[in-house]
Amino acid sequence: MRTYAIDQLEEADIAAVNARLLNMELQAGLEGIYWLPVPKAMLTGDQLAHYEHCGPYCLALEVGSNAVHMELLVRGMGRITCKCVSFAHEDLRNHMIRYLEDMLRELGVSF
């Protein structure tokens, strides 16, 4: 799996990240797992064509005891397997990494 990880985070930082994501109602149903929505403008042609049945689309974020791991696989919340499920293209990957890093900066997390 392709992931982007930030590790060696403090316990207080992890608590702040969890609180922010819970407040944003992004929890996935498993403790420490969240769905980060993918902007519709950054979807591929297949994802846009499949949006009604497979969307919305997201990336999984796992918040562990001292790290965050963002999977770079774009998943459709409507279907588990489909040709529209694919790894994030370069622009989306960069956008989502900036999104995560910006959130950490807003929370005062040093990384």
pLDDT above 90 as % of the chain: 95
Q: What is the pLDDT of residue 79?
A: 87
80 pLDDT above the threshold of 90: no
- Domain extents for the chain? 3-106
Three-state secondary structure call for residue 111: coil
Rounded Cα–Cα distance for residues 39 and 16 (Å): 24
pTM score of the predicted model: 0.94
Candidates 1, 8, 4; CA nearest to 67 is 8
* Cα–Cα distances in angstroms (integers) from residue 100 to residues 34, 61, 69, in the given order: 12, 9, 10
Name the token pair of 82: 């489909």
73 pLDDT above the threshold of 90: yes
23, 8, 4, 31: CA torsion to nearest 10: -40
Q: What is the pLDDT of residue 51?
A: 96
